[in-house]
Amino acid sequence: MPRVRPGARLFRWVVLGVCLSGVALPVCTAGQHAGRPEPTAPRPGFLVGPGGHGGGHGDAVGSYAPLSVSAAPTVGLLAHTTAAVGVPPAMAGGARYVGQSNVLQLPSGWWAYLPAGRTASAVVPRDDPAALRQIAQSRAWLAAGRVPGRTPVQRAAAERALLSMRALLRPNGAVAAGWTDGWKYSWPRDASFASAAFAHTGHDAEAFRILRYSAATQRGDGTWEARTKLDGSGPPDGRRWQLDANGWVPWAAWQWYQAAPRDTRRARLATLYPMIRKAADRAAASLRADGLPPASPDYWELMTTTSNIGTAAPLLAGLNASADLAREADRPGDAARWARAAGRLSAGIAARFAPLGYQRTVDGRHGRDSAVAFMAPPFNAAPADLPRALDSTYRALLLPNGGLTPGNDPTAPWGGNAWTPSTAFFALAWAGTGQPAKAERVLAWVLSKRNPLGELPEKVDREGRPASVAPLAWTGAITVLSLVALDGKALPTPPLRP
């Protein structure tokens, strides 16, 4: 996750907001007056200061510049299948997406969209033929798969989450966490969830493309960087790699395999198998005498001094997934080796984490952690004592605004903002453990915090308002998976076999 040290980023936006508040930048094109283009001509996309909507001018003609140069945190996306641009907060007021698309209707009635083959947005009259074609393509893509949800609100949220994940997915299979600087990178963790969500909603090509990117960016020792640039060229900085990716990626491959067309999945599994073998072998080799992995940065992207549940639980899911995929690939030796490693890890978790209620670390000094949900389906078969741990952890992490903080580790205070991924984990866990009423309540809270464009934000502030970037691919994927699980057919879980 790119979200653990927000101070510098927040300061940057505050300064930018002060400097640009109320400012709109008109754009001139050849032969046009800056304030009045021809009525039928496309207009460039918009850039306004984050402190106000065009300085009070609304979306008046002439107050537009390409969205691709906007510095404000995104609250939405304009996109086609190969590119995206972010919608800054100031443009959200009074705007809405044209149904089942990433075309934005502005208060004036004009449409903003990203034309095919271009990387800069345009503003066009309503019902522009090229924009209509893009809308039709988006609707056809949704119709080709499955939109989960039993209520209109749930289905609308699922549609928007799927379209947003599609917009954040690059042609090479990289998945941007969000479309704001600092989030425009691909995390193996976030991408794995997106792959599973695409797989279980009938979008096999997108799911498999993500897995191919994971294979292409795997390091020689079987691990992954914490995040990579979207072109796959490597990490953007020296952030420490995280061992949990060795669980998440095989788990995602297993989820894809369960949903993939049976006539092609075995052949395509063969192309992924070298990645799975290297990941699982590294995961198995990492286990210590007590069966647990070493200390590693967890999904908080913070290092711990002892084993943490945010690494151990995903590795268990990944080893079980890898063993089952090895059976499918007729690799009994691999299957047996990884199953033995999974058994050791499972025993270690039972001995060291279970007595603490699956707290963050085995030393018991770092409090509760929303990663307890990783011990539940669709990641792992829930231990008998997990329901109690889920309940107690949820209560411990619940904030006055109704959402959850990632954890209550006193050495890593999170403040009063709720994090939508951490909250949505519990909807997925309770859906997977046969407690749909609890899952529905949590999910209803998450969906109620969508921003005015219907996008799921990364955070919710103390007053209950959407905060940080939106959309966030990880929250969208967890939400979609939760809705699939609540539709009546449980998501599959990698089996733990002797």
Asked if the model's pLDDT at residue 87 lies above 60, the reply is: yes
Tokens representing residue 64 in the block: 């537009």
pLDDT class of 1 with cuts at 50, 70, 90: very low
Q: Which residues of 295-312 are buried (b: 16+ CB within 10 A; e: fewer)?
A: bbbbbbbbebeebbbbbb
- The angle formed by the CA atoms of residues 184, 91 and 110, to the nearest 5 degrees, is 115
Given this model, what pLDDT does residue 44 score?
A: 44
List the one residue out of 428, 449, 420, 437 whose CA is nearest residue 157.
449
pLDDT digits (tens, 9 = 90+) for 132-178: 999 999 999 999 999 999 999 999 999 999 999 999 999 999 999 99
Position 58 scores a pLDDT of 34
3-state SS track over the chain = CCCCCCHHHHHHHHHHHHHHCCCECCCCCCCCECCECCCCCCEECCCECCCCCHHHCCCCCCCCCCHHHCCCCCCEEEECCCCEEEECHHHCCCCEECCCCCCEECCCCCEEECCCCCCCCEEECCCCHHHHHHHHHHHHHHHHCCCCCCCHHHHHHHHHHHHHHHHHECCCCCEECCCCCCCCEECHHHHHHHHHHHHCCCCHHHHHHHHHHHHHHCCCCCCCCCCEECCCCCCCCCCCCCCCHHHHHHHHHHHHHHHCCCCCHHHHHHHHHHHHHHHHHHHHHHCCCCCCCCCCCCCCCCCCCCCEHHHHHHHHHHHHHHHHHHHHCCCHHHHHHHHHHHHHHHHHHHHHCHHHCCCCECCCCCCCEHHHHHHCCCCCCCCCCHHHHHHHHHHHHECCCCCECCECCCCCCCCCCEEHHHHHHHHHHHHHCCCHHHHHHHHHHHHHCCCCCCCCCCEECCCCCEECCCCCHHHHHHHHHHHHHHCCCCCCCCCCCC
Confidence at residue 303, expressed as pLDDT on a 0 to 100 scale: 92
- Of residues 14 and 368, the one with the higher pLDDT is 368
pLDDT number for residue 261: 97
Which among 169, 163, 43 is positioned nearest to 99, based on CA atoms? 163
Kindly tell me if the per-residue pLDDT of 255 is higher than 50. yes
Q: What is the CA radius of gyration of the chain?
A: 23
Record the tokens describing residue 274, joined without a space. Answer: 């070298």
Query: 10 Å Cβ neighbour count for 6?
Result: 17
pLDDT tens-digit map of 278-304: 999 999 999 999 999 999 999 999 999
pLDDT on residue 2 = 44
User: In the prediction, which pLDDT does 92 show?
Assistant: 80
Q: Is the pLDDT of residue 28 over 50?
A: no
Query: What is the separation of C-alpha 138 from the centre of its chain, rounded to a whole number of angstroms?
Result: 20
For range 260-264, the mean pLDDT: 97
Predicted pLDDT of residue 350: 98
Diameter of the chain by CA atoms?
Answer: 75
pLDDT for 394 equals 98
Mean pLDDT for the chain overall: 88
**Which of 56-70, 161-175, 189-203, 326-340 is the least confident region?**
56-70
Residue 415: per-residue pLDDT: 86
Q: Is the pLDDT of residue 66 over 80?
A: no
pLDDT of residue 11: 29
Is pLDDT at 207 greater than 90 in this prediction?
Answer: yes
pLDDT for 486: 97
pLDDT at 371 over 70: yes
Residue 326, pLDDT score: 98
Q: In the structure, what pLDDT confidence band is assigned to residue 194 with cuts at 50, 70 and 90? A: very high
pLDDT tens for 391-425 read: 999 999 999 999 999 999 988 878 899 999 999 99
**Which carries the bigger pLDDT value, residue 1 or residue 446?**
446
Give residue 71's pLDDT band: very low, low, confident or very high (50, 70, 90): low
Report CA-CA distances (Å) from 62 to 16, 54, 149, 380.
Answer: 22, 10, 41, 55
pTM, rounded to two decimals: 0.88
